[in-house]
Structure 1
Amino acid sequence: MTAPFPHVFECVYGDARHVGLGLPESDAPLHLYPLAGGTLAALVAAADGDTQTALARLTECRTPVEVPAGDRDQVRMLPPLLPAHTGDALVSGFMMTHNVKVGADVPDQPNWFVKGLGDVLKVPGEPLSIPADAVAVCEEAEVVLVYLGDETGVPRYVGYTFGNDLTDIGRFKQHPGHLSYAKLCDAGVAPWLHLGAPPRSVTGEVVIERDGAPAWKGSFTTGTDALHYDLPTLMSRLFAYQALHRPDRVHYVYLGADRSSFHAGFRTADGDRVTFDVASHGVRLSHPLAWTRGPGKG
């Protein structure tokens, strides 16, 4: 991609939505553009897939606002294109999509699941909620495709980001028919929307901390080259279903993961912090894990 700012993000600052360009450095000021009642989704949709036009629409006739590095805590990052009404967003994904997880005898379409609506998405720093009766929970470092329903409701691809498809893999292992329950944990998501085709190769490292110290580390590989399935075919089959068609609905589709800490014999616990360093793309996600309390628990 030749665009000078292939990444965009949306945030709330001073009780109003703003947009920013690029991947901000942690110790640098933020340069934001007020949306003045508009949305990043509307601006991106109006560009109709043209990255340069999208970037121009984000900045034209908008006076930039500089947020000093010391005031960054006053900025609340948002999941890419998150609608004001989170019920207008659907978070879903595929399982067993990667070559390292499938054998020769596999279906031509992998299982698909729903994680929830837009409120299950958590940006870095926010805790990921886990059901009280979870059996064994693992992290899953994934590419997340973002689609926006056009005026007829057909989902149109707008870009990608990265996420953590937190999964109760223990429940699934006990009963494969319970995949739908196993996926009902929160989902971590990076706020940066990458304007461009889905990445072919993504590499990075997972670090799980317990009581402030590293308890497990491992690397991951994902991207379209790691998939057993042809991505355009995969997505066209999914979005052929009219039930998924609605104008302005935002779809976040998690593409599946490499091996996780569970496969290495590690078991996560309440209070652990999971960090993904997506080294190939300069992105970092970090979330604490929080088990919810079941009925009758203090």
Structure 2
Amino acid sequence: MRLIQCEHQGQVHAARVDSDREVRLLDADTYTLARRAIAAGQSLADAVEAALTETRLDYQRLVDEKRLLPPLTHPDPAHCLVTGTGLTHLGSADTRSAMHAQSQQQAQIAETELTDSMRMFKLGVEGGKPGAGVIGAQPEWFYKGDGSCVVAPEAEIPVPQFAEDAGEEPELAGLYVIGDDGRPWRVGYAIGNEFSDHVTERFNYLWLAHSKLRACSFGPELWVGELPDHLEGVSRIVRGAETLWEKPFLTGEANMAHGLANLEHHHFKYSGFRRPGDVHVHFFGTATLSFADGIQTRDGDRFEIRLTEFGRPLRNPLRFEAASPAIDVTSL
């Protein structure tokens, strides 16, 4: 089952995707449906079936009219936390090392000579899939912002004036709601663009935190249920009417150094991330970046990320913002 969210008659509604052309409206948004399911002790799929209305909407019209929304939102964006993990995919260390202009291969250098990135990746390869009920190695982790940094599918991704780069990261994102008892519930998965500033990160990896404080997008569709182990997607950048860059990418646990359960544990083990009622959007990492191939994006370029199993692609154009004055902090 796949769901979207859209604006309909001035309100936010979830809708079930019935075909490439049509969606069927539900009587509430995704957050409300998830809360209903948790309270009733039922699956989200059952809650969706009970919430179906007779209203059917043209999918393409929703796209054309920019009425698509992220497939899970919180009524108060401050109660949505957006985070992620890196160096999680097989091949991601090579991408990171290429981005950081490292030429050494992991197998050819001693443990004491490994870069921090390679050491972190090696931990994941050796201990990121420990088996059911066992806690594995910690992954790299980062914070992106609250719900205000999330851009809807088809909407422009803003690039702040101080940014050094504007690069896509095609990833899976896990979407969660925290129950009233503090238990995390996975609502589903979505295609994500964990948009980042790779020039800032490349200058010094200690600026990784700065490089991640950017907008992002996920959707348009929410995958409800168990995720296939192997997923093949395509990420492209379109400039005008031409494809500037295109590359396949692999995701799913079969292509990852870490298991999803391990990544989820190391995020939600912190009690502050189990606050009742909150929404979490957690990006699971990638091994494919246009930046690693020397691509520099421009205003108006459009990102397109597709995983066939997730229906329609996630598309967002870029909008470079004008210069802004320095932030002046006033003493009270």
* Bin for the TM-score computed over the shorter chain: 0.7 to 0.9
Secondary structure at 1:191 match in 2: strand
Shift of 1:206: 1.7
Shift of 1:84: 1.2
Query: Which moved further from structure 2: 42-51 or 83-92?
Result: 42-51
- Aligned residue for 2:96? none
Report matched runs for 1:118-137 at 5 Å.
Answer: 118-137=147-166
Determine whether 1:8 maps to 2:22. no
Task: Tell me, in whole angstroms, the C-alpha distance in 1 between the residues paired with 2:240 and 2:30.
Answer: 42
CA spacing shift, 1:49–1:226, aligned 2, 3 Å: farther
Partner Cα distance (2:176, 2:314) in 1: 21
Instruction: Identify the residue that residue 98 of structure 2 maps to in structure 1.
Output: none
How far apart are residue 270 of structure 1 and its match?
A: 2.0
Q: Which amino acid aligns with 2:140?
A: N
Seen in structure 2, the aligned counterparts of structure 1 residues 132 and 9 have a Cα distance that, compared at 3 Å, is same
State percent identity of aligned pairs: 27
Call closer, same or farther: CA 1:189–1:38 in 2, change over 3 Å.
closer
Match of 2:54 in 1: 64
Structure-2 residue corresponding to 1:3: none
5+ residue gaps, structure 2: 94-105, 107-117, 124-136, 327-332
Q: Which residue of 2 aligns with 1:180?
A: 209
**In the alignment, what sits opposite 2:329?**
none
Higher helix share: 2
Q: What is the alpha-carbon root mean square deviation over aligned residues?
A: 2.5
1:136 alignment partner, SS class: coil
C-alpha distance in 2 between matches for 1:191 and 1:70: 12
The Cα shift of 1:216 comes to: 1.2
Question: For structure 1, which segment, 286-295 or 40-49, has the greater mean C-alpha deviation from structure 2 after superposition?
Answer: 40-49
CA distance 1:52–1:245, change in 2 (3 Å): closer
Distance change >3 Å, CA 88–CA 70, structure 1 → 2: closer
- CA shift, 1:198, in A, is 3.4
Residue 44 to residue 126, structure 1, CA distance change in 2 (3 Å): farther
Question: 1:18 is aligned with what amino acid?
Answer: H
Correspondence for 1:76:
67
Aligned to 2:195: 166
Q: What CA distance in whole angstroms lies between the structure 1 residues aligned with 2:164 and 2:192?
A: 22
Alignment correspondent of 1:97: 88
Does structure 1 retain, via aligned residues, the 8 Å contact 2:176–2:185?
yes
Deviation per CA, 1:74-110, whole angstroms, max 9, x where unpaired?
5722222311111111111011111102357334322
Aligned residues: 287
Shift of 1:69: 6.5
The Cα of 1:29 is off from its aligned counterpart by: 4.3
Equivalent position SS for 1:126: coil
Partner residue in 2 for 1:266? 295
The structure 2 residue matched to 1:237, chosen from 266, 271, 278, is 266
Q: Confirm whether residue 117 of structure 1 aligns to residue 117 of structure 2.
A: no
